[in-house]
Amino acid sequence: MIGAALAAATRALAPISETARLDAELLMAHALGVSRETMLLRGLDGEVPEGFDALLRRRLSHEPIAYITGTRAFWTIDLEVGPGVLVPRADSETLIETALHHFGDRAPATILDLGTGPGTLLLAALDQWPQARGLGVDASEAALAYARRNAANLTGDRAQFRLGDWAAGVEGRFDLILSNPPYIGTDEVLPPEVRDHEPGEALFAGPDGLDDYRSIIPDLPRLLAPQGIAILEIGHTQAEAVSALVEQHGLRPTVTNDLRGLSRVVSAVEL
Same fold, 2-61 and 84-270: no
**Using CA atoms, how far apart are residues 60 and 200, in angstroms rounded to an integer?**
21
pLDDT over 90 at 180, yes or no: yes
Domain 2-61 architecture: Orthogonal Bundle (1.10)
Half-sphere exposure of 28 (CA within 13 A, CB side): 28
State the pairing for strand pair 263-270/224-233.
antiparallel
Instruction: Identify the pLDDT of residue 113.
Output: 98
**Using CA atoms, how far apart are residues 212 and 181, in angstroms rounded to an integer?**
7
Instruction: Specify whether the CB–CB gap between 238 and 209 falls below 8 A.
Output: yes
Sign of CA dihedral 226, 228, 234, 239: positive
Q: To the nearest whole percent, how much of the chain has pLDDT over 70? A: 100
Q: Which of 160, 151, 96 is nearest to 129 (CA)?
A: 96
Q: Which of 162, 179, 164 is nearest to 122 (CA)?
A: 179
Domain 84-270 class, CATH top level? alpha beta
- 76-91 pLDDT, tens digit each: 999 999 999 999 999 9
Exposed, middle or buried: residue 168 (CB in 10 Å: 0-12, 13-18, 19+)?
A: exposed
**Using CA atoms, how far apart are residues 113 and 166, in angstroms rounded to an integer?**
9
Q: What value does the mean pLDDT of the chain take?
A: 96
pTM: 0.94
Instruction: Specify whether the CB–CB gap between 207 and 185 falls below 8 A.
Output: yes
Alpha helices by DSSP H, listed for 132-171, are 141-154
Q: Give the residue extent of every domain in the chain.
A: 2-61, 84-270
Give the number of other Cβ atoms within 10 Å of residue 126's Cβ. Answer: 25
pLDDT over 90 at 260, yes or no: yes
Per DSSP, the three-state class of 238 is coil
